[in-house]
Copies of this chain bind each other. A is one copy, B any other.
Amino acid sequence: MTSAEYPAPEMSEVQLVDILRAVADPIRLEIVRVLADGEPHSKHEDEWGFDVHKSTLSHHFKALREGGVTLTTVSGRTHVIQLRRRELDKKFPGLIDALVTEGPS
């Protein structure tokens, strides 16, 4: 059982504005909100139900990973994505909460 990680930036190199750019897109923001349940999620298209091509979804996952928001673990032919919650909360206190919290209409 092989298991490897995709390259992702050190959190020490991640700037707030990188996170913001990564998250300033409707689809990517929604992905983060789903990942905020703390569980690892499959990248499989059917799990997400966005109306975009699978290569587009792959592009968004890459943007999140390279922006320092997520980690990707490969196990066999499935990829699992996770929010870097603990690191993000430490470096950018309150940010993820603010992104996930339902505000008043």
- Which A positions have Cβ atoms within 8 angstroms of B? 12, 16-17, 20-21, 23-26, 29, 90-95, 97-99, 101, 103-105
Contacts and interface: CB of A to CB of B under 8 A. Distances in A.
14 contacts: A16-B99, A17-B24, A20-B23, A90-B103, A90-B104, A91-B103, A91-B104, A92-B103, A93-B98, A93-B103, A94-B94, A94-B97, A95-B95, A98-B98
B29 A25 contact: no
A24 to B, nearest CB: 4
* SS class, residues of chain A in contact with chain B: helix
A30 to B, nearest CB: 9
B105 A98 contact: no
